[in-house]
Chain A
Amino acid sequence: MAVGIVRLDNLLAVVMLSGIYSLISASLFVTMDAVDVAFTEASVGGGIATVLMLATLALTGDTEKPGKGKLQIVPLAAVTITGALLIYGTLDMPSFGDPMAAIHQHVAPRYIEEAPKTTGIPNIVTSVLASYRGYDTMGELAVIFTAGIGVILILGSGRRRDD
């Protein structure tokens, strides 16, 4: 799927593939017990992002300049070296699903124990997001708001100059 995105010249097909890719990763999240993340990824990554990209394509044209289909050596080398280094870095990582991994030992057990009692919400993800880290979520809203203002300013000023 991702390789198809690299190879294709037709941007409409690329955007469609990226939507399908988001949906597949959402189902991956379900299998890895992250249902909340899967909802969000399916609606935001598969839905809103695809719509936004389609809208952009409608304004910018949907074919990439042809003749660049072949692999380029320097980027490929850079990517391969980075990937090899990252794989070397994973050799020390805990294996998939290991309950003794460091990530599960530190604060996570306390949240799983206490969150339902202190907040009264059975979904631990929701209770952490909205209760323990409520300010952080509010900051996230500020980020979205800023991005929205940015989009309006970027697109709005162009229209006014044309008039």
Chain B
Amino acid sequence: MDIPGLFNYWIVIFLMMTGFYVVIARGNLVKKIVGLNIFQTSVFILYISMGKVEDGTAPIVIEGAKGVGAVYSNPLPHVLILTAIVVGIATTALGLALIVRIKEAYGTVEEDDIFAQDEAE
């Protein structure tokens, strides 16, 4: 077991937990979306860091003699994360649209104010 070699996972976990904290501890809905984005990006970093190979280069084939024996990083996580980024922006856009509607309906984007209004009805 090699502690410095696991450092990338720990950065990911720190970022992930920061995003998680924002999502569960903060009442403002826009801030919750930002927290979700942090969480999401930490997962991207997790995948990309797993795909990295020591002394590897970007997975674009090098032509000619220079390319013989070249080491490429694993391209498959990159493909997955490309898809994930695009799906992520789609969910973010949908969440923000819902926030705008909530603002129109309740006049606030704070979670506890919304609960208070629901209780009062």
Report A's interface with B, CB cutoff 8 A. Answer: 2-3, 5-6, 11, 14-15, 18, 21-22, 25, 28-29, 32-37, 40-41, 44-45, 48-49, 52-53, 55-57, 59-61, 64-65, 68, 71-72, 75-76, 78-80, 82-83, 86-87, 90-91, 93-99, 101, 103-104, 107-108, 111-112, 115-116, 122-125, 128-129, 133, 136-137, 140, 143-144, 146-148, 150-151, 154-155, 158, 162
Contacts and interface: CB of A to CB of B under 8 A. Distances in A.
Interface residues of B, number: 82
Contacts, number: 256
Contacts of A148: 90, 93
B53 A97 contact: yes
Which DSSP category, helix, strand, loop or mixed, fits chain B's interface?
A: helix
A94 B24 CA distance: 31
A124 B61 contact: yes
Which DSSP category, helix, strand, loop or mixed, fits chain A's interface?
A: helix
Contact of A59 (B44, B51, B56, B103): B103
Contact of A151 (B18, B25, B58, B94): B94
Interface string B102-118: 01110001100100000
Q: What are the 8 A-B residue pairs with the smallest beta carbon separation, nearest first?
A: A95-B5, A147-B90, A97-B54, A75-B25, A33-B73, A90-B9, A124-B59, A124-B75
